[in-house]
């Protein structure tokens, strides 16, 4: 098949994430790859400088190919997992480095009463991690940063135990506090319930999303039949998250990914992609004195510490958290050059939420900012631990983990700033 014929085929391939295959004369698979955009990635194989950018092995593979096939996936995350499973199954020659490199990463599930889900390098399997300690091994994955991001996304949907969580410990591990551990450490989840979560993770990394969805739907129906509506609701939110996987960061990684067959680093043509921005605010004071405020920023699930801000409250002299929040938001939105957040997270209940919404309406009307951020309030219990979230359910369902993480970080940041100011006063 000529380059012209190939190019004509590529124009008909969808601009969607998925996995592609180069096929040889006997329909054998020569190479398997994944893409954020199947069309864009396949176009890149027919550039004039293919040998320089992709290497001799890939260039030879393209010359031998007589056809292209592909499978569309719902997300880049699923493309990453499907690519790995198919390379393992078919072992194409042009993917040889992906099969053999011992420095590549694996996701393993341990053989324990409450299994851990861990990220390990292939060279450590059998050494630091004994083979008999491993129940499931998914890998190798050449893209280390992508796999870390993938595991982060999976963990938001299916919280699991890692090496920092010990069953029966006196205090909840950090990941339990932000919703990324189901409570193995504190005995909140039974062995049977946790085994079900591990099974969900296994099905997902095996690329069996259809089977996973059917399993979840059966579980949801069973809980509804038992009139355990809270658990049925949790599964409903999980199903929603599976069909709305937020893998923007993974998309970004895919565009700067290294092609290990040739060493090319692709240009990030989508560097202007949409950034989902969460800003969380907190106020600190002691008996109404030395009031301080803080803002932290979470963009596409990652902290952007360069954009954290501290505020020494100037207009409020006594304990008035709403007044302090008004000042902080006014000062923050005086910077119209900053990106407007999609979500603003505040400490408190419905009173604080409505106050923040009113403040934002006034500020945005005055400063001609186009969109109004969604406000979510984090309600705390007597131990200052998150007890509930108040806000738009469609935002909370998808971004609950990020909201809690941002709220926790804002509290940490403002307390650290307040302690520093107090320390300076006595020095």
> 245 with 75: CB under 8 angstroms?
yes
Q: Are 16 and 72 in contact (CB under 8 A)?
A: yes
Nearest to 149 by CA among 79, 72, 71: 79
* Predicted local confidence at residue 297, as pLDDT: 94
277-425: CATH class: alpha beta
Q: How much is the pLDDT for 421?
A: 67
Collapsed DSSP state (helix, strand, coil) of residue 54: helix
Distance (Å, whole) CA 18 – CA 9? 16
Helix (H, G, I), strand (E, B) or coil at 316: coil
CA angle in degrees (0–180, nearest 5) for 209-213-217:
170
pLDDT of residue 422: 61
Kind and range of the H or E element at 340?
Answer: none
Per-residue model confidence (pLDDT) at position 101: 63
Are 3-92 and 277-425 the same fold in CATH?
no
Q: Six-digit token pair at 326?
A: 């008004």
Cβ-contact 228, 103 below 8 angstroms: no
Per-residue pLDDT of the chain (427 residues; tens, 9 = 90+): 666 777 788 888 998 899 999 999 999 999 999 988 899 888 888 876 665 556 677 788 888 999 999 999 988 899 999 999 999 899 998 887 655 567 788 999 999 999 999 999 888 887 777 778 899 999 888 877 788 888 988 998 999 999 999 998 888 998 998 889 999 999 999 999 999 999 999 999 999 999 999 999 999 999 999 999 988 988 998 888 888 776 655 655 554 443 333 333 223 333 344 678 999 999 887 655 678 889 999 988 888 999 999 998 888 766 678 888 889 998 998 888 888 898 999 988 888 899 899 988 887 776 656 678 899 999 988 777 788 889 987 788 778 888 988 998 999 888 887 777 666 654 4
Q: What is the distance in angstroms between the CA of the first residue and the CA of the last residue of the chain?
A: 79
The CATH code that applies to domain 3-92 is 3.40.1440.10
Residue bearing tokens 């983990």: 401
Q: Residue 71 CB: number of other CB atoms within 10 A?
A: 15
What is the pLDDT at residue 20? 95
| The token pair that represents 89 in the structure block | 């199954």
> What are the structural domain ranges in the chain?
3-92, 103-206, 277-425
pLDDT of residue 273: 46
Q: What is the DSSP letter of 101?
A: -
Residues contacting 304, CB < 8 A, separation 6+: 297, 298
Q: Which phi and psi (to 5°) does residue 290 adopt?
A: 50, 50
Angle between helix 229-243 and helix 144-157 axes, rounded to 10 deg: 150
Residue 393, exposed/middle/buried by CB under 10 A (0-12, 13-18, 19+)? exposed
Unique residue bearing structure tokens 């909370």 = 396
pLDDT at res. 75: 87
d(C-alpha 111, C-alpha 202), whole Å: 13
């Amino acid at each position: 098949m000529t380059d012209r014929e190939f190019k004509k085929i590529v124009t008909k391939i969808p601009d969607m994430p998925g996995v592609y295959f180069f096929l040889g004369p006997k329909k054998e698979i020569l190479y398997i790859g994944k893409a954020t955009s199947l069309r864009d990635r396949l176009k890149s194989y027919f550039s004039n400088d293919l040998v320089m950018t992709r290497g001799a092995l890939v260039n030879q593979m393209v010359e031998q190919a007589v056809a292209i096939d592909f499978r569309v996936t719902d997300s880049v995350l699923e493309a990453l997992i499907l690519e790995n499973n198919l390379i393992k199954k078919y072992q194409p020659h042009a993917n040889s480095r992906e099969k053999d490199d011992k420095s590549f990463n694996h996701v393993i599930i341990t053989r324990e009463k409450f299994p851990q889900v861990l990220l390990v390098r292939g060279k450590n399997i059998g050494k630091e991690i004994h083979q008999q300690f491993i129940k499931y091994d998914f890998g190798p994955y050449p893209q280390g940063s992508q796999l870390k991001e993938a595991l982060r996304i999976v963990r938001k949907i299916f919280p699991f135990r890692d090496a920092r969580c010990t069953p029966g410990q006196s205090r909840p591990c950090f990941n339990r506090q932000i919703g990324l551990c189901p409570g193995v450490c504190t005995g909140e989840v039974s062995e049977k319930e946790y085994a079900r979560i591990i099974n969900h993770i296994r099905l997902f990394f095996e690329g069996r999303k259809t089977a996973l969805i059917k399993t979840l739907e059966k579980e949801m129906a069973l809980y509804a039949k038992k009139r355990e509506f809270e658990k049925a609701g949790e599964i409903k939110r999980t199903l929603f998250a599976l069909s709305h996987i937020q893998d923007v960061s993974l998309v970004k990684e895919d565009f700067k990914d290294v092609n290990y067959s040739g060493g090319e680093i692709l240009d990030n043509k989508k560097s202007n992609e949409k950034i989902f921005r969460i800003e969380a605010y907190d106020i600190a004071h002691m008996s109404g004195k030395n009031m301080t405020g803080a803002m932290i920023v979470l963009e596409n699930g990652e902290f952007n510490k360069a954009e954290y801000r501290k505020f020494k409250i100037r207009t409020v002299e006594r304990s008035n958290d709403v007044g302090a929040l008004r000042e902080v938001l006014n000062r923050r939105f005086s910077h119209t050059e900053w990106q407007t957040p999609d979500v603003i997270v505040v400490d408190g209940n419905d009173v604080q939420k409505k106050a923040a919404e009113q403040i934002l309406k006034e500020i945005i009307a005055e400063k001609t900012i186009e969109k109004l951020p969604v406000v979510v309030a984090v309600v705390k219990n007597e131990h200052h631990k998150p007890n509930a979230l108040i806000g738009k359910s469609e935002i909370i369902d998808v971004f609950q983990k990020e909201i809690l993480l941002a709220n926790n970080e804002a509290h940490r940041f403002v307390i650290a700033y307040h302690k520093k100011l107090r320390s300076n006063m006595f020095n």
